Amino acid sequence: MALESRHKTNKNFAMSGMTDIVFLLLIFFMITSTLIVPAASNVELPESNNQTQSSPVLVVSISNDKIIYVDDQIYSMGELEGVLRKKLENYGEAPTVRLNADRNLNMAEVFAFLDIARRNRYKVILGTQPS
């Protein structure tokens, strides 16, 4: 006499709901990670109460030791213009660049960067910290 259960369990599992959630989370993290603007670690920004509504395409940081960071890569002032042209060539006529300059930095480096931005028609936002 064979005893069989009347209630058979379904051993199949539908993954469609789980894959939808994974893809939505993936898209969310991809969008939020592009909105975060990294800053160089050794830059002490000046204080300001003003807020800018533009979002920069690229971040250039100049530390007090005159070290220039573009997207956390170190460059010299001589190669900065070529690097900026290469990185900003696909962003239209007047891309926005954020300049994080150390508050104790000599202004000669800032003026050299602003001259590069003027020649290439880049918009520049000065990075500050809230006061």
Residue 15 makes CB contacts below 8 A (sequence gap 6+) with none
Q: Is the pTM of this model over 0.75?
A: no
112 token code pair: 């050299």
Q: How many domains does the chain have?
A: 1
Residue 27 lies in a domain: no
Q: What is the CATH number of the domain that holds 76?
A: 3.30.420.270
* Mean pLDDT, the chain, integer: 81
Range from 2-6, 57-61, 116-120, 126-130 carrying the lowest mean pLDDT: 2-6
Write out pLDDT tens, residues 6-47. 777 777 777 888 899 999 999 988 887 765 555 555 666 666
Average pLDDT over residues 67-95: 87
